[in-house]
Structure 1
């Protein structure tokens, strides 16, 4: 086996590992996005209070993930610096949860 063949194989493995890492880093973002999609489906089927609750919970999950995951691995959850991201997601998520639980249902769910 020639040294060039071994080098080419190594380069291909490194390229594959980098591409896999690019997708792996986005898992927290996709978890939050999945929560937002579930919330949208609930609202679409006229379950707005449950949808708002899931939406607020997804934002709080995003805040917790952004606070715990290092910046190098935050992926698309990273918008600004860590403090700003966590503060905005936590405050908006808490506000939506408060609204979802405090508004009278008026016969709807």
Structure 2
């Protein structure tokens, strides 16, 4: 949980310093990292990452992280100054 939180803090710092696309990529990466931790670690070790059953948590986190990364990577830079 601490590692995922540190990556999210880095994402917030990037967004706050006007690097919103890179921050969004970090946030999506943190979500995918949480999915990997939920998949590999026992339930007693994942802490607050365990919300429902393991398959549900992994599927939800993977889908959400993939969508965030895809959106952040494909947004056009036209008009962004």
TM-score range (shorter-chain normalised) is: over 0.9
The answer for the alignment partner of 1:93 in structure 2 is 65
Q: Are residue 59 (structure 1) and residue 7 (structure 2) matched?
A: no
Give the total of aligned pairs. Answer: 81
Return 5+ residue gaps in structure 1 as ranges. 1-28
Normalised to the residue count of structure 1, the TM-score between the two structures is 0.70
The 8 Å contact of residues 47 and 108 in structure 1, kept in 2 or not, is answered as: no
Larger radius of gyration: 1
Which has the bigger relative contact order, CA under 8 A and spacing at least 6? Answer: 2
The answer for the alignment partner of 1:102 in structure 2 is 74
The answer for the alignment partner of 1:71 in structure 2 is 43
* CA distance in 1: counterparts of 2:80 and 2:13, whole angstroms: 16
CA root-mean-square deviation: 1.4
